[in-house]
Amino acid sequence: MGEIRSPSLAHRLAAYTAALNRYDLDAVERMFTADAVYVSPGVGGELKGRPTIMAAFRAYFRQHTDQMNKDEDVRLMDEHTLQSRWHLKSAKSNRSGRQRITFTAAGLIARIEVEDD
């Protein structure tokens, strides 16, 4: 669909990335639906449900205490889904790839699909 025309979705993605970079897990947790799905090689595949996703984030953040995320080339795929190129750097990791984030009409994250380069 091209460039983002929904500042609301772009704002939600920016808020999610900023919360990750601040290690604000309470804020991140509030951004997911109860039955959200997170798919990423970084977490070993598919995680279902907010508690499972948050447990994986907590474990990851314990290992990567200095990570920083950055989203680039953010594009609207449909009225509820964004795709971005992302870069993640920490002392232990330097990863990049693409992610698709699907939001509910209320603006919560329902699904994230991460692909590494």
Closest CA to 58 of 25, 90, 21, 20: 25
Q: How confident is the model at residue 60 (pLDDT cuts 50, 70, 90)?
A: confident
109 within 8 A of 20, measured Cβ to Cβ: no
Residue 42, C-beta contacts closer than 8 angstroms, at least 6 positions apart: 60, 95, 114, 116
Residue ranges of the domains in the chain?
A: 7-116
Helix/strand/coil (H, E, C) string of the chain? CCECCCHHHHHHHHHHHHHHHHCCHHHHHHHEEEEEEEEEHHHCEEEECHHHHHHHHHHHHHHCCCCEEEEEEEEEEECCEEEEEEEEECCCCEEEEEEEEEECCCCCEEEEEEEEC
pLDDT at residue 17, rounded to an integer:
95
Q: Is the pLDDT of residue 6 over 70?
A: no
pLDDT at 12: 94
- Identify whether the C-beta of residue 85 lies closer than 8 Å to the C-beta of residue 72: yes
pLDDT at 40 over 60: yes
Confidence label for 7 from pLDDT (cuts 50, 70 and 90):
low
- Position 92 scores a pLDDT of 84
Q: Is the pLDDT of residue 93 over 90?
A: no
CA 13, distance to chain mean position in Å, is 8
The pLDDT of residue 42 is 81
User: Is 3.30.413.10 the CATH number for 7-116?
Assistant: no
